[in-house]
């Protein structure tokens, strides 16, 4: 049994959340493995359906990225990779983001050209049990059938992403939650064709491409920001991560500590924290004190994977104070 750096880093709740997340991502892939061929078969010449189909295929990327990252993250740090493999989450996030961005941009241009050319989508009929049925109904039914499950996936994954502090999972959940808009968009587009509105299809396709492009922008920005070692934030990038304040509070409460500044890197799953400490009366603390403080900081939360305490006379300029202080 190889040592798993990822599981060792999590507490028991975290391990359970990780297991659920892996299960949810496999379930998502299984769901897409069914819907992608079905939507592909009924797509026909509707541009909106084509966009929705491509989005379905692209939504495979974040679950795959997550599952691959979980595998890679499990590897223990080596002399060659001294910080471990935790950054693989960021790399996976970036790959998924760029894929969405490129495909969204392509589809947006393609759909806009379709609208400008005034292409009229031909949608014929098929024979089912001796009856002629318009293919448009099958398209709408297929898209309607893809609505409920992703919403549920999205909600569960959102909760797990918060628990695990995993931004790929968060991005995936966010996309799943918004997926119903794509489905409704393509239903409206095909419905528009049914009503004889030739532009409805291309307009719906533009709407869908726009949502893919938006997802791509958001994810690429998030991934790049994280890889650039931005200040650690909560899983949804809404605010600075509260754990950093807890480190400040804990270290400031120690007898030998006068003042604290920190620099934090979010490595994707875990934090790497440099805590600069001005010792009281400029007296060098004992090694035991530093070691104990380190262990106590790490015990605050499993996210504090690596805490380095550096006694200093003068703080580095970029190290930050507790939020709300300067």
Which residue lies nearer to other proteins by CB, 174 or 306? 174
To other proteins, the closest distance from the beta carbon of 188 in angstroms equals 9
Place of tokens 């760029």: 98
To other proteins, the closest distance from the beta carbon of 46 in angstroms equals 11
Q: How many CB atoms lie within 10 A of CB 252?
A: 14
Residue 95's Cβ-side half-sphere holds a number of Cα atoms within 13 Å equal to: 15
To other proteins, the closest distance from the beta carbon of 141 in angstroms equals 5
* Spatial CB neighbours of 26, under 8 Å, sequence gap ≥ 6: 63, 67
Which residue lies nearer to other proteins by CB, 103 or 143? 143
To other proteins, the closest distance from the beta carbon of 5 in angstroms equals 36
DSSP 8-class letter at 59: T
Tell me if 222 sits within 8 A of 171, measured CB to CB: yes
Helix (H, G, I), strand (E, B) or coil at 312: coil
To other proteins, the closest distance from the beta carbon of 214 in angstroms equals 17
* Spatial CB neighbours of 106, under 8 Å, sequence gap ≥ 6: none
Which residue lies nearer to other proteins by CB, 173 or 307? 173
Longest alpha-carbon distance in the chain: 92
Q: Which residues bind to other proteins, rule: CB under 8 A?
A: 119-127, 131-134, 136-138, 140-141, 143-144, 147-148, 151, 155, 177, 180, 183-184, 187, 191, 193-198
Which residue lies nearer to other proteins by CB, 205 or 257? 205
The side-by-side arrangement of strands in the sheet containing 271-279 is 257-266, 271-279, 304-311
To other proteins, the closest distance from the beta carbon of 121 in angstroms equals 7
Which residue lies nearer to other proteins by CB, 16 or 41? 41
**Rounded-to-integer distance, Cα 21 and Cα 273, Å:** 26
To other proteins, the closest distance from the beta carbon of 49 in angstroms equals 13
For 157-211, the three-class secondary structure string (H helix, E strand, C coil) is HHHHHHHHCCHHHHHHHHHHHHHHHHHHHHHHHHHHHHCCCHHHHHHHHHHHHHH
Which residue lies nearer to other proteins by CB, 97 or 121? 121
Which residue lies nearer to other proteins by CB, 34 or 284? 34
Query: β-strand 257-266 against 131-134: which pairing, if any?
Result: unpaired
């Amino acid at each position: 049994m190889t040592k798993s750096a990822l599981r060792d880093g999590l507490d028991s709740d975290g391990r359970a959340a990780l297991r659920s997340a892996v299960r949810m991502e496999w379930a998502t892939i299984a769901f897409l493995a069914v819907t992608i061929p079905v939507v592909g078969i009924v797509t026909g010449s509707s541009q909106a359906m084509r966009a929705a189909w491509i989005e379905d295929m692209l939504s495979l990327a974040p679950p795959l990225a997550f599952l691959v990252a979980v595998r890679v993250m499990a590897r223990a740090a080596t002399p060659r990779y001294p910080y471990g493999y935790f950054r693989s989450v960021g790399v996976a996030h970036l790959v998924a983001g760029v894929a969405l961005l490129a495909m969204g941009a392509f589809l947006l241009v393609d759909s806009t050209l379709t609208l400008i050319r005034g292409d009229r989508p031909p949608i014929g009929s098929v024979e089912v049990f001796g009856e002629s049925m318009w293919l448009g109904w099958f398209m709408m039914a297929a898209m309607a059938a893809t609505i409920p499950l992703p919403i549920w996936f999205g909600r569960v994954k959102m909760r797990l992403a918060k628990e695990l502090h995993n931004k790929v999972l968060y991005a995936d959940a966010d996309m799943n939650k918004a997926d119903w808009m794509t489905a409704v968009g393509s239903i409206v587009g095909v419905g528009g064709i049914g009503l004889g509105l030739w532009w409805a299809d291309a307009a719906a396709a533009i709407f869908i491409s726009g949502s893919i492009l938006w997802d791509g922008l958001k994810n690429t920005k998030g991934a790049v920001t994280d890889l650039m070692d931005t200040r650690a934030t909560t899983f949804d990038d809404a605010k600075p991560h509260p754990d950093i304040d807890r480190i400040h509070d804990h270290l400031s409460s120690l007898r030998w500590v006068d003042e604290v500044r920190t620099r934090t890197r979010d490595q994707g799953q875990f934090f790497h924290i440099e805590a600069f400490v001005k010792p009281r009366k400029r007296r060098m603390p004992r090694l035991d004190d530093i070691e104990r403080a380190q262990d106590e900081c790490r015990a605050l939360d499993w996210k504090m994977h690596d805490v380095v305490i550096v006694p200093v006379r003068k703080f580095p300029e970029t190290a930050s104070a507790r939020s709300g202080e300067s």
